[in-house]
Amino acid sequence: MEVSITIAVFTICLTASVIFGVILWRKRKDVPDRSRTFLSISLLLLCPFLISFISSLSIGKIPPIHSKLNPFMSIGGLYAILFILYYPVEVIRPRWLTGWKLLLPLTPAILISFPLLFGIQFHDIQTFGDIKENITDIDILIRLISISLFIIISLFILIIPFNWRKSSASKAIIRRYVILSEITSFLFLAGCLSGSQMITNLNVLWGVFFISQLTYYELEQRVIAPLDTQDLPDEPEQIAFEADDNQPDDLWQRINHQMDKHEIWRNPDVTVEMMSRAVGTNRIYVADCIREHTGLTFNDYLNKWRTEYMADKLRQNPYQDQKPLYFEIGYRNRQTAYRNFIKFVGCSPSDFVASL
C-alpha cells in the first residue's frame, strides 16, 4: 500500500514536471532573461530521475527509501531544488549566472554524486547513531557536507527580497517565491534527516504545488519590459526625480508638473519621498496636498494616473496586447494593475475594451 502511494505521488510529480517544463520552454523567448529557461531545464532534467525511481519501485527493486540521508533521494532532490534556485537570481540579475557562478549553486549535488562515479558503496543509515559511528567514512562525510552547503544556499535565498527593486518582478511575487522555496527546502531536509516516507511524499506533493504556482505567476502575473521597447517612452528607472527651474510656485501645481511633464508615475519604485524631493518640500506636505485636492492617498493618486493613461491607450487601440501597457504605466504585477483598473474605471480592462 505504501509503495502504491509513493508511485502515485511521484507519477503526479513526473506529469507536472513534463507539462510545466514544456510550457515554460515554449514560452522562454517571451522574456529578455533566462529565468524561464532555467525553470524549464530544471523540471525536464528531473524527469529521468523520477522515471527511474518509479520504475525501480514498480519492479520491486526498491532503494533504501527509509534510510537517513538516502543518497538516491538526496541526489535527485538536490539537483531539482538547486536548479530551481537559479530562477530568482536570474530575475534580479539577468545574465549574472555565467561560468563558475553557474556551477557554484550545484556544488552540493555534484559533491554527493562523486561516490557513485568512483564506485564507492553508500552506507545504509537507519539511525543517527549510525552517522556518528561512521562519521569518518567518505560517503557519509560527503553527504553531510552536501547537506550543510545546501542549508547555506537556502539561507542565502532569504536575502533575495531585499533586492526586488532591481528585478522585473513585484515584491509580492519575489516574497511568495522565497517563502515557497524555503518550505520546499525544509521538507527536503526533513525527509533526508528523518528517512520518513510520509515526509518524502509530502515534499513531492508540495513540489508539485510549488512549480504550478511558479509557472502560473511567471506566465500570468509577472510583468516585464517588452522585448522591443524602441516605441515606448523612457524606462521607469530612467525617469528623473530632480526638481527643475521651470516648476510653478504653488505646491499642487508643482506636483502636477512632475506627474504631467516628468511622468514619474511610470516608475514602479516611486515613493512620496521621491516626489517631495522633486517638488522641494517634505513628504507630509505632499501627502496632505494631494489628499486636500483629490481625497486620495499618494499611492491611489499614482494609480489613478496610471489607470487613466492605460484607459486612454486602450481607447486609441482596443486590440493591442495589454501586458506591455502594464510595464509602461509602472506596474510589475498584472494582478495589481488589473485590480486598480477596476477600482478607478469601474470595470476590468477586457470589459472596458468590449464597451468600446
CA distance 143 to 212: 30
Q: Are 198 and 290 within one domain? A: no
Question: Virtual CA dihedral for 325, 329, 330, 333, nearest 10 degrees?
Answer: -40
Q: Which domain range does residue 81 map to?
A: 2-221
185 within some domain:
yes
Q: Are 31 and 69 within one domain? A: yes
Q: Are 20 and 103 within one domain? A: yes
Place of cell 468600446: 356
Q: What is the pLDDT along the chain (356 residues), one digit of tens a residue?
A: 677 888 888 899 999 999 999 999 998 887 777 888 888 988 888 888 788 878 877 776 555 556 777 766 677 777 777 777 778 778 777 777 787 777 777 777 777 777 767 766 776 777 777 777 777 777 777 778 888 888 887 787 777 766 666 666 667 777 788 888 888 888 888 887 887 878 888 988 998 998 898 888 888 777 665 544 444 444 444 344 444 555 556 888 888 888 888 888 888 878 888 888 888 888 888 899 999 998 989 989 999 999 999 999 888 888 888 877 887 888 877 778 888 888 988 888 888 888 87
Burial class (CB in 10 A: 0-12, 13-18, 19+), 233: exposed
Q: Are 280 and 320 within one domain? A: yes
Q: Are 202 and 242 within one domain? A: no
229 within some domain:
no
Q: Are 182 and 306 within one domain? A: no
Beta bridge partner(s), residue 333:
222
Closest CA to 108 of 43, 173, 41, 153: 153
228 within some domain:
no
In 199-246, where do the E strands start and end? none
